[in-house]
Chain A
Amino acid sequence: MIRVILPPHLRTLARVDGEVELEVKSPVTQRSVLDAVEANHPMLRGTIRDHVTHLRRPMVRFFACGEDLSHESPDTPLPDAITTGSEPFLIIGAIAGG
């Protein structure tokens, strides 16, 4: 089971409390995790990735296992700790403004 932590605004939008747990087929990548998030919560489409290009929105970041994976290829396999569910995949709204 993959664990995903959404930023507060998107938790409100998707009406979820706490973490989202998802079944994701191997290989587990940013793309497959985000596809699963959007399939289970269609109101999140376009809020994390652009609707058309599927590129990460500029002020959204992806963290996992203490690393910033935002600039990794969306098809790079995620760390084993994400795949096994021992660590969550974090979707972050970038700190911006004052």
Chain B
Amino acid sequence: MSRVRVLVGTRKGAFILSSDGARKRWKVSGPHFAGWEIYHMKGSPLDPDRIYASQTSSWFGQIIQRSDDGGKTWNPPGTKPEDLMTSEGMPKGESNMFVYDASPETGKPLTTHQWYDGTQHPWEFKRVWHLEPSLSDPDHVYAGVEDAALFESTDGGKSWHELAGLRGSDTGPKWQPGAGGMCLHTILLDPNNPKRISIAISAAGTFRTDDGGKTWKPINRGLHSQFLPDPTAEVGHCVHRIALHPSRPNTLFMQKHWDVMRSDDAGDSWQEVSGNLPTDFGFPIDVHAHEPETIYVVPIKSDSEHYPLKGRLRVYRSRTGGNEWEALTKGLPQRNCYVNVLRDAMSVDALEPCGVYFGTTGGQVYASADAGDNWKPIVRDLPAVLSVEVQALP
């Protein structure tokens, strides 16, 4: 029988939840990296026991951790005990070194972006929000960081370099931080085209490369953001999350600050599919593992009140790729619930039927083993959940 591993990043450490394929009884491991913020963990699709983790602290900065045994043991890449005793001397300790590229060879990417007061502000590295292992090599992994930029490592996380063409695009000076900072939080790899990557930044919008990261273009046509002086501007949109189904990589789904959107041309144009949602503000969006037109969102009351409407926690599911939505409530609290679900805190597994998972700022991780029809908490008193990723294991 298959197994499932749920990787949960929280404000005060990482937790690993595991179950057999029935997904009824769960074992909770953790906290790993106790006391540190774990923004994200994700396993390689080629080697599920290879897991990367972003460990951060306002005091001590960024750490990258890597496990090669499914989360039992962890090390900053290059600092396993055996690495420390090689004849080549001590490692350089660069697995947490994220330096913005300003070299002439890459076009001297612009070094300032728009600040809250409209002035220009230097790019300053703060943390890694999202790690996306490559589809073709377990040692190759991308990192989306704050202040917004995309980095990659081709040596298992020992060293990183920036894909500077993104930040060097001519819209860079117009990018600005959202309330959570100016973060690159979503990285979508096209399984049919290794040169195509789509990313999303709050509050700049969505961007795509078709040449492996050398050049990028904004793909925000059709987005409408009332908070902008020009609501249909090329950049400046607060995109909260984008998602795709691997069988249809040209169809993208988006939860924007307000509005749920879809694109059927790889982001070249977008249409609103909020339909009958009670509110179209929210953070995560995800796609059913086997049904590319079935999508999930968690409606949140508003941008000033980050909790569910009327204190009722509801996932909404559309089986029509948007516009027609149904509330999923069974097993979720339907009164006095005032938690939030953050952008990276929802995931699906590839078992049959598809499992859906999300974590809350109240420390609950809810799971549905039947595509959202019924929910129950796996664990309910963790620190605030920042991210949830799921692995289906043989």
Q: Is the CB of B96 within 8 A of A46?
A: yes
Q: In the complex, A61→B76 CA distance in Å?
A: 24
B59, CB-defined interface residue at 8 Å = yes
Q: Is the CB of A9 within 8 A of B59?
A: yes
A73, CB-defined interface residue at 8 Å = no
Q: Mark A9-48, 1 if CB is under 8 A from B, else 0.
A: 1101100000000000000000000000011101111111
Contacts A42-B91, A43-B63, A44-B93 hold; do A51 and B99 have CB atoms under 8 A apart? yes
* A: contact size bracket: 20 to 34
Q: In the complex, A43→B60 CA distance in Å?
A: 12
**Most chain A beta-carbon neighbours within 10 Å: one of B60, B75, B76, B84:** B60
Q: Smallest distance from the beta carbon of B151 to chain A beta carbons, Å?
A: 13
Q: In the complex, A66→B384 CA distance in Å?
A: 37
By a CB distance below 8 angstroms, the chain B residues around A38 are: 93
Q: Mark B53-88, 1 if CB is under 8 A from A, else 0.
A: 000011111110000000000011011000010000
- Option from A9, A42, A52 in Cβ contact (under 8 Å) with B92: A42
Q: Smallest distance from the beta carbon of B286 to chain A beta carbons, Å?
A: 32
By a CB distance below 8 angstroms, the chain A residues around B84 are: 42
B272, CB-defined interface residue at 8 Å = no
Closest chain A residue to B35 by CB distance?
A9
By a CB distance below 8 angstroms, the chain A residues around B46 are: none
SS of B interface (majority): loop
By a CB distance below 8 angstroms, the chain A residues around B62 are: 46
* B: contact size bracket: 20 to 34
By a CB distance below 8 angstroms, the chain B residues around A8 are: 35
Q: Is the CB of A47 within 8 A of B60?
A: yes
Q: In the complex, A38→B91 CA distance in Å?
A: 10
Contacts A45-B96, A51-B99 hold; do A13 and B59 have CB atoms under 8 A apart? no
Q: Is the CB of B58 within 8 A of A59?
A: yes
Q: In the complex, A10→B93 CA distance in Å?
A: 14
Q: In the complex, A45→B61 CA distance in Å?
A: 10
Q: Smallest distance from the beta carbon of B233 to chain A beta carbons, Å?
A: 34
What is the interface of chain B, defined by CB distance below 8 A to chain A? 33-36, 57-63, 75-76, 78-79, 84, 90-97, 99
What are 25 A-B contacts defined by CB distance under 8 Å?
Answer: A7-B59, A8-B35, A9-B36, A9-B59, A12-B33, A12-B35, A40-B90, A42-B79, A42-B90, A42-B92, A44-B93, A45-B92, A45-B97, A46-B61, A46-B96, A47-B57, A48-B60, A51-B96, A51-B99, A52-B97, A57-B60, A59-B59, A93-B59, A93-B60, A96-B58
